[in-house]
Structures are given as structure tokens and as C-alpha cells.
């Protein structure tokens, strides 16, 4: 138990008149229900966070034949499958842009989110030996797992720009909002990652349920179809899925589609922030027991 969880107090003072010796009583209390995030500690360990990010990037493609090409191959071939079955056979509308670029614009931020979510959810169990031997802010582990995916995102984004050039599509002036939308995807991945990584330490069912959950989340996100199929107010309520705002925001900034109404993006941002804050505080609430049960 960490020192911060010890609450020492002197229960009895010297009774000089009676001539008795003082009695020192130390009371050990359980952790408080909610622990502060201790952002100062995270800042002090920023070099360790950088090391974790660099380690995760190197391990991800170690002993692979295609290396970082996997960052592009997965969303690219998913785009090919979607284009055949949803674009050509099912004739799903694509807001007036070619279906391959319509789906690939959505798959780039989705792949970053999904990879970060899976990696962060399993990050504490994967670092079991380190957590049981050395003290460091545990939040650095899932944060590093998500941030390591930024390299894959950058590579896939360059391919996306090349595809837009192939189709003769120039980014709109709204492209300046891309960093904000990427931040929204990062906050969503971190928020859900905090929850699942902490739960996965005690309940390994999370590891088995996660692939199905990610696949289901893919289909309830407007990747293979536009959110414009929904009428208001259902379209705004669709923003309760944080990735709906991210995906439609990317289409709005890069393709100029009118598919990101402010209400949808605002709803996504609020839900993402709620997931991030509650996830971080829950993580801090239970992290004292990680070394005992991981």
C-alpha cells in the first residue's frame, strides 16, 4: 500500500498529570474512493512515457516482413472489401464522392482508434512483470499504447492524400480542423482504454470480448454508409457514438461533404470527454491493487 494511503494520527497525548507514557496509534485507512489524477507525477515521468511510446512502436513491427506497411494494408484492404460489397453491390450512397475515397477517409481515423483501444486495453496485462516490480505512474502504460498509433496514422494519412490526388479531390479550407478531430479520436481511445485496461486486470473476459466489441463498434459508426441517411433529431443522437463525430468530421474537412452538423460533433465531443474523465478517475481508483491481481 502506498504511503499516500496511510493516515497516521496520534490518538493519545501524554497524560503528564497521571504520569503515564504517551500512546502512539497509527491508523491505516483504505484508499479514498476517488484519487486525484496527479498530473504532476505524469509530467515528472514524461521521459518514461516517451520511452514506452518508442518501445511500443519498435515492438509492433518487430520480426514482420512488411514492417510499417501494415499501417496501410489493413485499412486499404478493408476499403477494397467495403467498395465491392457496399459501394458496388449494395449501392450505398456516399454523399456524392467516389465510394473508395469515401470509405478510406473514415477508415484512417477508425484504424487509429481501434488499434489504440485494443493495445491500451491489454497494456497493463502485457506489462505485468514491470508493474509488479517497479513503481511508476500506471497511467503512462495505456497512454503510451494509444500514442504509439500516431505513427501509423501519419503513414495512412499520407496514403489518403495520395488517393485524394488520384481522384482529383483537393482538401477544403476546413482541413485546419484535422488536429482537433484527431485529438477527439485520441481522447475517445484513451477514455475507453482507461476503463478497459483497468477492468482487464481483474476480469480477463475483457480480452475475449474486445474483438467482437470493436467489430460491432465499426458497424455502428458511419464508415460504410453516411450519417445523412438519418433524419434529425436521430442524427444528432447518433453523435453519442464519439467516433461518429470523428468520422463525419474527417469527411467534412477533407472532402467538403455536408455530413458533420455541429450538433453531431458537439455530442461526440461531450461523450468523449465524459469517457476520458470518468475512465481516468476509475483507473486511479483501482490502480493500487494492480500489482496484486495482474
Query: Residue 6: beta bridge partners?
Result: 28
Distances (CA, A) of 228 to 99, 107, 169, 248: 15, 18, 21, 10
Other CB atoms within 10 Å distance of the CB of residue 279: 21
Predicted local confidence at residue 133, as pLDDT: 87
Predicted local confidence at residue 114, as pLDDT: 95
Listed residue (233, 243, 139) closest to 195, CA to CA: 139
Predicted local confidence at residue 18, as pLDDT: 52
Residue 61, classified by CB atoms within 10 Å of its CB into exposed (0-12), middle (13-18) or buried (19+), is middle
Cβ pair 271, 242 in contact under 8 A? yes
Predicted local confidence at residue 21, as pLDDT: 58
Q: What is the pLDDT along the chain (294 residues), one digit of tens a residue?
A: 444 444 444 444 445 555 555 666 766 565 566 777 778 888 999 999 999 999 988 887 777 777 777 888 888 999 999 999 998 898 888 888 999 999 999 999 999 999 999 999 999 999 988 888 888 889 999 999 999 999 999 999 999 999 999 999 988 888 899 999 999 999 999 999 999 999 999 898 898 999 999 999 999 999 999 888 877 778 778 889 999 999 999 999 998 887 667 888 899 999 999 999 999 999 998 888 888 887
Q: What whole-number distance in Å separates Cα of residue 114 and Cα of residue 110?
A: 6
Predicted local confidence at residue 59, as pLDDT: 83
Predicted local confidence at residue 140, as pLDDT: 94
Cβ pair 217, 196 in contact under 8 A? no
Amino acid at each position: 500500500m502506498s504511503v499516500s494511503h496511510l493516515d497516521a494520527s496520534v490518538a493519545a497525548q501524554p497524560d503528564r498529570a497521571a504520569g503515564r507514557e504517551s500512546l502512539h496509534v497509527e491508523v491505516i485507512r483504505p484508499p479514498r474512493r476517488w484519487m486525484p489524477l496527479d498530473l504532476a507525477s505524469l509530467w515528472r515521468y514524461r521521459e518514461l512515457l516517451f520511452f514506452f511510446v518508442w518501445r511500443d512502436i519498435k515492438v509492433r513491427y518487430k520480426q514482420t516482413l512488411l514492417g510499417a506497411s501494415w499501417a496501410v494494408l489493413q485499412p486499404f484492404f478493408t476499403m477494397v472489401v467495403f467498395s465491392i460489397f457496399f459501394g458496388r453491390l449494395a449501392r450505398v450512397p456516399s454523399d456524392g464522392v467516389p465510394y473508395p475515397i469515401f470509405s478510406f477517409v473514415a477508415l484512417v481515423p477508425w484504424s487509429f482508434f481501434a488499434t489504440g483501444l485494443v493495445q491500451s486495453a491489454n497494456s497493463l496485462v502485457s506489462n505485468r512483470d514491470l508493474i509488479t516490480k517497479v513503481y511508476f505512474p500506471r497511467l503512462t502504460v495505456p497512454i503510451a499504447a494509444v500514442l504509439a498509433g500516431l505513427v501509423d496514422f501519419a503513414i495512412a494519412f499520407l496514403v489518403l492524400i495520395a488517393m485524394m490526388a488520384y481522384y482529383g479531390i483537393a482538401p477544403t479550407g476546413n482541413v485546419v480542423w484535422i488536429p482537433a478531430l484527431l485529438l477527439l479520436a485520441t481522447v475517445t481511445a484513451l477514455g475507453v482504454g482507461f476503463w478497459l485496461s483497468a477492468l482487464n486486470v481483474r476480469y480477463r473476459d475483457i480480452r475475449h470480448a474486445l474483438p467482437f466489441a470493436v467489430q460491432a463498434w465499426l458497424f455502428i459508426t458511419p464508415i460504410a454508409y453516411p450519417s445523412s441517411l438519418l433524419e434529425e433529431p436521430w442524427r444528432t443522437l447518433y453523435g453519442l457514438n464519439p467516433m461518429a463525430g470523428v468520422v463525419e468530421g474527417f469527411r467534412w474537412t477533407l472532402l467538403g461533404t455536408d455530413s458533420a452538423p455541429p450538433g453531431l460533433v458537439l455530442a461526440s465531443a461531450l461523450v468523449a470527454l465524459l469517457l476520458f474523465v470518468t475512465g481516468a478517475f476509475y483507473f486511479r481508483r483501482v490502480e493500487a491493487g494492480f500489482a496484486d491481481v495482474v
